A and B are shown apart, each in its own frame.
Chain A
Amino acid sequence: MKKEVPIGIGFLVGVLIVFEYFLKGLWPAVSKTATDAQNWGSVISAFAMGLAAANLIVIHGRRIKQKHPDAWMSWLLFAGILVMTITGFYAKGTAGGNTFSFLFDGLYLPLGTAMFSIMVFFIASAARRAFRARNIDAAFLLVAGVIVMIGNAPVGKLISPWFPSATSWLISFPNVAGNRAIMIGAALGMVLTGFRVIVGIDRSYFGGE
């Protein structure tokens, strides 16, 4: 029963959602049940965020208890969670003129964007030593990359009108052809995986083999 009941529930919900997708609201009772099932999915996702927060608290709580050399970082994390949660509750959905907004705009946003921005320095460093035409395949990739990089910046047209045209051709033809093949392959894989889950062959979603 431990396996049969989850497989049965998975089968029923899977079939319901597939049927509802194609019925397009023709059968209101089916539509309503499918919407309810999807809302449960959304609620479970919200619980998963809470679970992740609880997990983080357990891990960092253990670090503090064990007096780990980096325990001060865990204290910092707790302070961050506490401050953002309390100020978030007081913010009540408004963006301007509150502490949550001040912390989000003044701390979280610049730190997040800075983390992303420093990648450009690693790219600059890699440009000198790593992006090398060691063989014919790498040479093709490198030449295409350089053309697209120049063509995608406004300065490309100033250097030569050929760069934007070549960039457009590379993206519209070789790129689209390759991506389309990947997309169709992935879509077929998704259909097959979905079918395996619905009929209970794939049981990995409840920890099975």
Chain B
Amino acid sequence: MNILKRFGEMDRRWLYVILLVMVVFPLLRPIGIPIDVSSSTAKFVASVDRLQAGDRMLLVFDYSIGGGPDVDPQAQVVLAHALSKGVRVVEVAFVDTGLNYATKACDLWVSKGKVYGTDILNLGYAPGVETAISAFGQNIEAIFVRDVNGKAPSSYPIMEGIKTAGDFKLIAEFATGIPGPAEWIRQVVTRYKVPLACGVVSVMGPQNAPYLQSGQLVGLLGGGLKSAAEYEIAVKMPGAATAAMDAQSLGHLTIVVFVILGNILFLVERREQKAKKA
């Protein structure tokens, strides 16, 4: 009982230290907790696997800096998977900070030997959220007159025959808020019947689960970094997300232990108060 009371009165900075140790320790000394691939991740992997070499995929970087560590590993592994299959990828952003992630990803793959304009293309960023997505869906060149290098998208071989969002074989969108899956489903999926797979921060996962169940999404990475790790395991490309899973596991566990101890303490205190009143 004394231990519980000490826990209740402990300076909160000690809780921070405990949590920090629990998160940093597995990063320095990995434990190797096995990672299972969930069905929603498996569906996402299958949707990329169905693409043939030469098919065009749209990769949408709709994420902010805050949620970047949760979503960026998802986008990176999906891009790596698609390019490894010979799928050609067109990048676009409807969130301003997404452009920087898109540009970094594009430059990385160009430095690894992919040809800009043939294997990968970066169209840039368009403001206007849902309105811009709708206009993009109808006529890509109406909203992206030039790519990030100042050239007309139609001047690149990768854009041959691509006029609307419906001309892509798959759209993969990664989001941390608005625009997110709902905006793309409303403006593009319903209208052009193009398959859409999404990756979102873990807090957005449950609210987007109905779209996966209804078939409006062909895949959903709804668990943030954990979904990225599952994807990395599924396509045998272990990376940053897989390495961070031990830390996330112990972090979750620590918070759950704090919740349980806090509630036991609450029940004990309540019982004591009742006894005093009696």
Contact = CB atoms under 8 A, between A and B. Distances in A.
Interface stretch (A59-67, A74-82, A174-182, A197-205): A174-182
A85 interface: no
Contact of B259 (A134, A142, A154): A142
A154 B233 CA distance: 12
Interface string B146-170: 0011100000000000000000000
B252 A155 contact: yes
Contacts of A95: 100, 103-104, 106-107
Interface in A94-148: 94-96, 101, 104, 108-109, 112-113, 115-117, 120-121, 123-125, 127-129, 131-134, 142, 145-146
Nearest to B214: A180
Contacts of A108: 65
Nearest to A190: B186
A8 interface: no
Given A128-B15, A150-B256, A155 B249 contact: yes
A127 B127 contact: no
Interface in B172-195: 191
Contact of B210 (A101, A133, A134, A180): A180
Interface string B240-270: 0000011011111111101111110010000
B54 interface: no
A45 interface: yes
A45 B107 contact: no
The secondary structure that dominates the A interface is helix
Contacts of A34: 138
B252 A21 contact: no
B235 interface: no
Contacts of B129: 45
A43 B250 CA distance: 47
Nearest to B129: A45
A47 B94 CA distance: 15
B256 A21 contact: no
Contact of B19 (A121, A129, A150, A179): A121
Contacts of A44: 128
A93 B191 contact: no
A115 B251 CA distance: 18
B234 interface: no
A146 B258 contact: no
B226 A152 contact: yes
B199 interface: no
Contacts of A43: 128
A55 interface: no
B33 A113 contact: no
Contact of B209 (A94, A109, A154, A176): A176
Given A46-B127, A154-B33, A116 B67 contact: yes
B66 A41 contact: no
Nearest to B254: A124
A42 interface: yes
A92 B103 CA distance: 11
Contact of A42 (B96, B132, B248): B132
B247 to A, nearest CB: 10
B134 interface: yes
A46 B142 CA distance: 15
Given A125-B12, A175-B206, 6 more contacts: A44-B128, A46-B128, A112-B64, A124-B12, A171-B206, A176-B209
9 contacts: A93-B124, A113-B66, A131-B262, A131-B263, A150-B252, A153-B226, A154-B246, A171-B205, A179-B206
Sorted nearest first, the 7 A-B pairs with minimum C-beta distance are A112-B65, A93-B148, A42-B128, A155-B249, A41-B131, A127-B258, A38-B135
